[in-house]
Every structure is written in C-alpha cells, then in structure tokens.
Structure 1
Amino acid sequence: MKFKGIYITTALVLLGACKDSFLDPKLKGTELEENYYRDESEAMKGLVAVYDVVGWQGNGYVTRIGMANAASDDHFAGGGGPGDVNDYQVVTNWTLTPEIGPHNELWRKGYSGIFRANKLLEKLPDVQMDENKKKRFAAECKALRAYFYFDLLRMFKNIPLLTRTLATTEMRDITQAPPADVWAQIETDLKEAIAETNLPDKVPIATEGGRVTKGAAHALLGKAYLYQKKWPQAAAELALVNGTTPGSENPAYGYKLLAKFSDLWRSDAPAKYNSESVFEINYSSKSAGGWGCVSCTEGNVLNIMVGPRNYSPKPGAPDYISGWSFLVFTKDFYDAIHYDPRFKATVADLDSLKNNGFASYSAGHMNTGYFIEKFAGRNSNKTSGGGVVELNFPQNMYDIRLADTYLMEAEALVMNGESGLTGTRSYALLNAVRARVGLPAINATIDNIFTERRLELAAEGHRFFDLVRSGRAEAALGARGYKQAQHSVFPIPYNELQNTKMEQNKEWGGTK
C-alpha cells in the first residue's frame, strides 16, 4: 500500500516493463514480497522494477524532463488550454502550491525508486545466484539509488534519507536529513558502485542496453560534484568519462560524439544506446499501453504531447503525428537558435510551414508556432505492438550524453580557475561540441559554456536546473512570476507533511 506519497508496500510491484533490450516484456504482475527473491530470475525482476522507475510517467503525464521544460525560459507549458495538464501550467506561470504541481508526482517517483533499490539490496545476500552477478546487481542498485536521490535533492533540498526499507509503523517518525548527509550518501553509493569490479565498462546493446555502466556512474558522480560546486572533483570525475582527447573516442567506455547532431534524435534501434549515450531512459512502442492506465505504458508520452494539434501536412511536409501542442518553444529561444546549425534538428517550425502553405495546424494554448523537433512523434514510428497510438511511441530519452559531460567538465575547469583560452582543456571540450556542428572555436568563458548548453541540450530538461544552480533563474523567469527566494526549491508535497514529522521548506512558509 502507499502511505501518502512515500512508497511503502508489502509486495514487490513489477510494472509492465515492456521495454527494449534487457527489460523483458514478460515482467508483469504482482508477487508477495515474503515469497520472492528466491533465485537469479526473481532478483532480475526486482532489478528491472528499480530501472522501471527511471522512465516514470505519471497518470497525469508528468515527467521530470517535461516539468523542467515547462519551468524554463525556453518553453511554455502549452497544451489545449490554461488548465491542460495543470501541473505543467503552474510551473510555467509559477503559481504552484504545496498541494498542486508536478512536485507531487516527482516526489512519488523518487521514493518509489529508492524503496525498490533498498528492498533488492536487503534481499540480495540471501538470493541463490552467482555471486559475481549478485555484486553487479548491488552496484546497479546503489547507482540507481544515488540517481533518485540526486533528483530529489536538487528539487526539494530537505528530504528524508532512507537506506533501508521501513515498516508502515515507522513512517510517521520520518524526518528530513541535512542536505550534506544526502550528498554524502550519493557520493558513497556511486563510489561503491564504481569500485565494484563486476560493474562493466560497457554492455552488449542487444541484450543489456540501458543498464548502468561504470562510465554512467562516473558521469553521475561528476554531476553531483558539480552541483555541490566541488569543481576539482567534478572535473576529475568527468574527465574519466570524456577521455584524454575531446572529440576522440574514449577507449575505456567507448564514448564518442556522433558525427551528425540530427542522428541523436532518430527513434529507430541503431540510434538507441549510441556512442554518445551515457545514461538513457528506455521506451518502447510494443507495450500496448492504453488510456486505462497512462502510467503503465512503456511508450514515450512526450512524443505525442509535443506535436502540433490537428496537424495536416501536404506532400513533402514532415510526417509529424497530430499531437497536443505542449512545451512549445518561446520566441526568445527561437531567436537564440534560429541561425545555429542545430536549429532544424531542434525546432519544428510550424509557423514557417503554415505561412508557406506546406501544412496546417491548430494553435494551442500559448502557441508560438515553434515545437520540439527532437521529440515530435511521427507516423513513421507509430506503435507496432498494439495499444493506442498516442501512448506507444518508442523514442528513448538521454538522461546524460557526452556533449553534456564535455560541457560540465569545461564548466568545472573554468570555475576552478582555468582561463578557457586556446590550449586549455576547457577550450578543447567546448569546441569539440561546437566543431561537431561546424561552428568556429570560441573561448571557454562561463557565459559561452552556458549558452552552448542552452543550444546543444535544448528541450532535454537541463535548462531550468542550469538556471537555478547558477543563480540566473530570476533574471530569466522573473517576468513569469519566478522568485529566487521562494522558487529555488519545490515545496514538500502537502500530503507528506500530514503523516510524518517532516517540515515544509522555509521558502514555502515552513521552518526547514
């Protein structure tokens, strides 16, 4: 059962994990926890249940990437009207409250993943299975637990730190841990995962695509250091991911920038788990998801959400499927990227298509005419596995990719005192990203790095967090109602405060 938002259960819940690669489509149903984890097969199902939370999509269509886009200066919530997916509307206009907003779903996601990871870590010692595989499973659980805590910490700041499963009777006594303690646990989990020799450097894509590797753990640890402003540690950790020579393949993990930026956004199998992908969120067109349980589908709901409404193309126009017009780009972002080589692979310019007679569409809420090309669902990749078309698109999402880690390392180096001029590593990292799309070299100043992040990683859910962590959010979002003194953290969900000893964040009228 659930005790309000924090995930408590007496059963191991295995969602319909009908994803590609190692996430087996037969893993469905509910098994009583006390009778489970008897062998490797059941331990693997428990591990899949942890991974399943990475791609969490709520019944209200909330995802972390969708929330972060709606909250940023690059997007409006959009949709069919001012109340359509209200959780996105209230972060676009900054009218969220402890009761209303996407933070409720994202809190639920984080603690669901933590609970499942804790449960499997507790059960693994007694599972009858190969010891080396057992150690790998444990390393993956620790890395994933760190991943969930990282998201919760950067959104809420004051959160409970749970490293074991709790009985229902213990839930009312939950308090929040000092943020420093949670950061320390994230670092410990990732260091222990990295130190485990059974956690592989690479995985076979056909059978294990999407599983945590050492490179992914290094990248997340580097990102955690970056958010704490531990610049030397962040640079050192991210350098292990990026390799000795920016732009060349990292022989340890096989990472390399794709030659064509546009190839990153293909949704077919060759594009999944490509050489630039460090950690990827898995989706599939084969889960037969339906309207009765949106959260049960393994299809990517953003693909239908971001498409233009009532889209009607003429011959030769792009084959976008008619969507729901969410997360449209702002005119400010359009102007920033319009003459950049990444424009056509990033922005679906419906305004231009319509004005030139190539297609028509219906204007949605806050329409600008500029949609997300990267994620727009297409007729060419509709479901082949049953279910409703809208909920079964297969495009994976990048949680961390190499261009991101290049720019994070460049930032850490410059913040640690490197000049960013020709001959420095930060200069080489920034300009490897620019060279991929044919842009000239520039100095690696902090402003240049953040501008590059905005254009390179557009719509991928980074911009909002970049604004907040750099102290630039109020300047960019103040006209929408964002106030740094309040909105730099999300409120603790109201329901959590009714059943525990937790306190509301001071930014939201509490004492924490």
Structure 2
Amino acid sequence: MKNYKYIPGIYITAILLLASCTKDFLTLYPEGSLNGNSFYKTTQDFQQAVTGAYTPLRDIANNAFWMDEMRSDNATYDYFAKDRGNAATENISTFLDESTNGIIQNRYQAAYVGIGRTNAILDRIAGFSGMTDSLKKTIVAETKALRGHYYFDLVRNYGGVPLHLHEVLKMEDSYLPRASVEDVYAQVISDLKEALDVLPSPQFTSASTGRINKGVVATELAAVYMQRGDYSSALPLLQSVAGMGYTLMTNFSSIFNPANKSADKNKELIFDVQYQSGTTGMQSSFIYRFLPNMSTSFPLLGEGVKFNINTYGGWNIPTDNLKAVFEPGDQRFDATIGVIEGTINSTQDFVPTKVVSAVNYTPPAGVVTKYFCRKYYFPPYPNINRNTDQNWPLYRYSEVLLMLAECLNETGKSGDAIPYLNQVRVRAFGDANHNITSANQEQLRAAIALERRRELAFENKRWQDLIRTGQAITVMNAYGITAKQKFSYLLPQSFNVTQNRLLYPIPKREMDLNKQLKQNPGY
C-alpha cells in the first residue's frame, strides 16, 4: 500500500524505500512506504533511504529502450497486424509521438521520483548528528551523484526542466517554471563534481555490486562534458577511470550474462541497473519485450517455462541498417543479433521452432524468420512469466575506451586515440589483424562512431550519439526514406525529423498540473 501524494514528478514528505542495506552492498528488498516525519532517526534510516533512491533507475530503464534505441536506426518494431493497440510505442520509433505518450510520461516521472528522494535525504541529513562526518559525507556524495544522474537523463531528453533542489513539503513549492538547459547542466556538473571528490574508488567485490563509486561518477561526468562538446574536460576524467582497475571481459556475450552481474566477476561493468527475479516486484522482463509476438514460447525460453503465448514482445528489433555495419569475423554480431526460425499458423501467429546464429545466415525454404536482440537472451528462464535477473548496463569499460579515443581525437591527439579504439576491436575479433593502424582526425572520428554503434548496440546509446554529433536529422531522415519504401504500413508523415524532434515533449500531465511550464517547440 502506498500512502504518498504525487504532484508534478515530486513526492511530498513521504519517501518510498527499496531496502535496508549495509554500508556497501546494494541489497534488494520489496518496496514499501514510510512517512518522512517518522523516518530519518538513525544512520540505518539514511542508508535505507539512499538505497531507495536507486529504485527509479529501474523505472527509467524499463522505458528507455523505446526512447533511446528505437528512436534510432538501430532498432524498429515487429508490425503485428492482429493487434494495433501499440500506437504510442510505435510512434516513438517513427517520430509521431505526442505529449500524451505514456512512455515519455513514465520516464519523466521516474526521474523526478528519484530527485524527490535524493532531495529529502540531503535536506534531512544536514541537521542529523547521529553518524560520523565521514559517513555523512559519503552518503551526501552518493546521493548527489544520483540526483545528478536523474537530471542528466531529464535534460538530454526534455531540455530545460524544473530544477528542484530541496524536499517538497508544500503544494505551492512543487510548481516551478522550467530552468534553462545551461542551469540544469550546471547543477548536474556541480552534483557530480562534489561526489567525485568524496566517493571511494571501485572495489570489485560482491559487497560493492550496484553502488555508485568514483569510477561511475568520473565516467558520467565525462559523458556530460562530451554531450556539451567539452572534450578537454572529459579527457582527464576518462584517463583516471582507465587507471581504476576496470578490464574487458574476454568473451563479449559473457558481459551481459546474469551469472556475471556481481562486481567481483565482471570488471567491465562500471554501472548497471540492478534487477532481481522472484515475487518481490524487482524483476526485469527485457527479453520478453525483445522476442517476437509468438503463439508459444516453449522452444525459446527453456524447459522450465510453463506459460504459453507471448504477446508482450516485438520491440527493439534489429534493423537491416544495423546488421550491415558489422564486419566479417566480428564476434559481437552473433552475440548481439539472433535469428528465430518458425512458421505462421492458421490464425496468423508466429510459431517459433529454434534460435539460430545470424552469421552468414540464409533462410531455408518454407521457413519464416524473425531477427531479435540477442544481447540479453540467456535461457532457460524460470516458470514465472516476464521475470528475470537481467540487469541493464549504463556504462561499461569498453565505452570508456571509446570515449577516451574520441576525446583524444577531438583534442588533436589522433595517434594517441588509436590504441584505445583497438583494445575494443581486438576483443571483438579475437586478434589484432583488424586493428586500425593510421587515420586522420576525420577518418578516425567516423571509425570511433561506427565502433560505438557496434559495441553498444541495444544499450540505449545510439540516439544520443546521433544528437551530440550533429547527425540525428540527416541520418534519421535518410533511414526513414528507406524504411517507408520497405514497410507499407508506415504513414507518409512518419520520420519527418526536424530540430524540434531532438527533444521529447514535456508530458501533457505535467503541463496540466503546472501552468508555469512551457511546451517544447513542435508539440
């Protein structure tokens, strides 16, 4: 039962708590509800509250792939003629979304839930004397890093947003006008820099799994600077991360295997959103979204699965455009994109038979094929529908290497950039035979961008990469022309990508509640 009141993205007084926790480990427990006036009495209360402030990361990740990946030329949806009830999600992919879109609302709201929780912690801890100064500084730093993360997510997707920096205790305090983009970014940078100075370096122990540390903050702060085109400020941060003990996993697919989600098993994961299967409501369901709509799931999900039809899927389908960018011998292709063979039955449902490799694949005669995102496919799955342990990656060390290469190249050090790019390519191909040996700045810029696309496909990076490199309008309009030629169901007005479409609309519900808000142009 929840006893809070929601107003424009902010919770009044009450803070939803995810868990109790130790000093380091992000322990997951069912979400409950406590009133702020009866809470914050002990050190453990504040530790619980910090853990609760991580929870909206899951709510954002559950919606982000529509807005970050399917907005790009990496992914599309499997058109299902029998069920036309998915227009809101399809419209994000085709640039026909409106301010009433529920996915856009959910993400906006989740970020402000996180901000509300962090603000409550920061305001309450200021006058609390029941813990050591060292622990208080650590809690404040971790909390500010989370707040910075949530505002970074908002400003990239919606532009300038209301800048709430204190707990909302009165109705009138909840309604603020939009701050400028510059002011929001300034706050993000301020929060992350404060956290960077305090938080410890990564420990790579099971007890540190899921927690924000110095490596997480340095990586995200560098991403913020790169989003702003400030490569010089990003570079030393990334160089510091390269010296913190992170390493590449030998096998690309193993990075994403839930069996390797612990920090002591996977030194490539810098920051990922934590999920836990079971009956506590903290499970993930990504693979069910990414598999096709099917009449039966038995052949694909494992012997333990007892349920039948999956009408949840058909999203994040690899495009032909994405398939074409992988070079022969690139092991990431097989780990990222798979093929499902099957047939169409008398009621026009897809009946799968097996998953096969997409490498050099030619469909056999009489077989219906469906491509899918294989990156998060690790059967067998438990006998609970849409319930997995699959975490969602936010930052990996391979991305840091590519960020380093980009920053060096953009600051006139192209020769120094190439070794970082090649570290990623050596893992992808299993040898150094595909290394880039020389390139000028323009050539290397294109090579790094292409490598990011291959390495980070289906990790919600492509759309923002297109925006920050100034390619979104050109690339997506060209992609749209090809898509409309191939798919007759696409409306003529789809893929009309203009400057206005580089931001999502402020959700209509927020506009209705807060009359001080002004909508983004074009919506």
Please classify the TM superposition score into its range, dividing by the shorter chain length: 0.7 to 0.9
Of 495, 498, 512, the residue aligned with 2:512 is 498
The percentage of aligned residue pairs carrying the same residue is 25
Supply the distance in 1 between the matched residues of 2:331 and 2:355 (Cα, whole angstroms): 25
1:377 deviation in Å? 5.2
Supply the distance in 1 between the matched residues of 2:141 and 2:224 (Cα, whole angstroms): 17
1:310 deviation in Å? 3.9
Of 408, 413, 423, the residue aligned with 1:413 is 408
1:10 deviation in Å? 2.6
**Cα offsets for 1:329-348 (capped at 9, x unmatched):** 11221222273321111111
Task: Check conservation: 1:4, 1:495, Cα contact below 8 A.
Answer: no
1:48 deviation in Å? 0.9
Q: Which range is displaced more, 139-148 or 259-268?
A: 259-268
Name the CA shift for 1:353/1:121 in 2 (closer, same or farther; >3 Å).
farther
Q: Secondary structure at the match of 1:503?
A: coil
The residue identity in structure 1 corresponding to 2:331 is P
Q: Secondary structure at the match of 2:69?
A: helix
Alignment of 1:282-361 (within 5 A): 282-286=274-278, 288-289=279-280, 297-308=281-292, 309-310=294-295, 319=302, 323=310, 324-337=313-326, 339=328, 340-351=330-341, 359=354
The residue identity in structure 1 corresponding to 2:326 is I
The residue identity in structure 2 corresponding to 1:403 is S
Number of the residue aligned with 2:498: 484
1:129 deviation in Å? 2.5
**Cα offsets for 1:47-66 (capped at 9, x unmatched):** 111011111169xxx42134
Task: Check conservation: 1:77, 1:88, Cα contact below 8 A.
Answer: no
Of 37, 40, 55, the residue aligned with 2:40 is 37
Number of the residue aligned with 2:201: 201
The residue identity in structure 1 corresponding to 2:509 is N
Of 279, 283, 289, the residue aligned with 2:271 is 279
Supply the distance in 2 between the matched residues of 1:134 and 1:93 (Cα, whole angstroms): 47
Supply the distance in 2 between the matched residues of 1:52 and 1:173 (Cα, whole angstroms): 24
Number of the residue aligned with 2:484: none
Number of the residue aligned with 2:75: 75
Name the CA shift for 1:16/1:97 in 2 (closer, same or farther; >3 Å).
farther
Number of the residue aligned with 1:9: 12
TM-score scaled to structure 2, two decimals? Answer: 0.82
1:90 aligns with 2:80: no
Q: Which range is displaced more, 495-504 or 76-85?
A: 76-85
Supply the distance in 2 between the matched residues of 1:90 and 1:391 (Cα, whole angstroms): 24
Q: Aligned pair count?
A: 468
Number of the residue aligned with 1:466: 465
Task: Check conservation: 2:142, 2:212, Cα contact below 8 A.
Answer: yes
Number of the residue aligned with 1:293: none
**Cα offsets for 1:376-395 (capped at 9, x unmatched):** 3522x426xxxxx2332001
Task: Check conservation: 2:65, 2:316, Cα contact below 8 A.
Answer: no
1:359 deviation in Å? 2.4
Q: Secondary structure at the match of 1:268?
A: helix
**Cα offsets for 1:94-152 (capped at 9, x unmatched):** 11111125221111011111110111111113152233222111110011111101110
Alignment of 1:115-134 (within 5 A): 115-125=116-126, 126=128, 128-134=130-136
1:270 deviation in Å? 5.7
Supply the distance in 2 between the matched residues of 1:448 and 1:213 (Cα, whole angstroms): 31
Say what the alpha-carbon RMSD is for the aligned residues. 3.0
Name the CA shift for 1:80/1:130 in 2 (closer, same or farther; >3 Å).
farther
Number of the residue aligned with 1:63: 63
The residue identity in structure 1 corresponding to 2:252 is F
Alignment of 1:205-284 (within 5 A): 205-242=205-242, 250=243, 253-269=244-260, 274-284=266-276
1:188 aligns with 2:190: yes
The residue identity in structure 2 corresponding to 1:499 is L
1:89 deviation in Å? 1.0
Number of the residue aligned with 2:25: 22
Q: Secondary structure at the match of 2:196?
A: helix
Number of the residue aligned with 2:179: 177
Name the CA shift for 1:402/1:117 in 2 (closer, same or farther; >3 Å).
same
Q: Which range is displaced more, 21-30 or 34-43?
A: 21-30
The answer for unaligned runs of 5 or more in structure 1 is 243-249, 290-296, 362-366, 384-388
Q: Secondary structure at the match of 1:370?
A: strand
Task: Check conservation: 1:43, 1:127, Cα contact below 8 A.
Answer: no
Number of the residue aligned with 1:369: 370
Number of the residue aligned with 2:422: 431
Supply the distance in 2 between the matched residues of 1:201 and 1:108 (Cα, whole angstroms): 31
1:45 deviation in Å? 1.2
The answer for unaligned runs of 5 or more in structure 2 is 345-351, 357-367, 481-493
Supply the distance in 1 between the matched residues of 2:510 and 2:104 (Cα, whole angstroms): 12
Q: Which range is displaced more, 401-410 or 450-459?
A: 401-410
Task: Check conservation: 2:160, 2:184, Cα contact below 8 A.
Answer: no
Supply the distance in 2 between the matched residues of 1:226 and 1:107 (Cα, whole angstroms): 23
TM-score scaled to structure 1, two decimals? Answer: 0.84
Task: Check conservation: 1:258, 1:276, Cα contact below 8 A.
Answer: yes
**Cα offsets for 1:222-245 (capped at 9, x unmatched):** 000000001111112111112xxx
Number of the residue aligned with 2:140: 138
Task: Check conservation: 2:276, 2:284, Cα contact below 8 A.
Answer: yes
Name the CA shift for 1:85/1:276 in 2 (closer, same or farther; >3 Å).
farther
The residue identity in structure 2 corresponding to 1:135 is K
Supply the distance in 1 between the matched residues of 2:211 and 2:511 (Cα, whole angstroms): 35
**Cα offsets for 1:425-451 (capped at 9, x unmatched):** 211111111011226112361111111
Number of the residue aligned with 2:435: 441
Name the CA shift for 1:492/1:468 in 2 (closer, same or farther; >3 Å).
same
**Cα offsets for 1:183-219 (capped at 9, x unmatched):** 11111111111111xx210246322311011011100
Name the CA shift for 1:498/1:505 in 2 (closer, same or farther; >3 Å).
closer
Number of the residue aligned with 1:391: 386
Q: Secondary structure at the match of 1:382?
A: coil
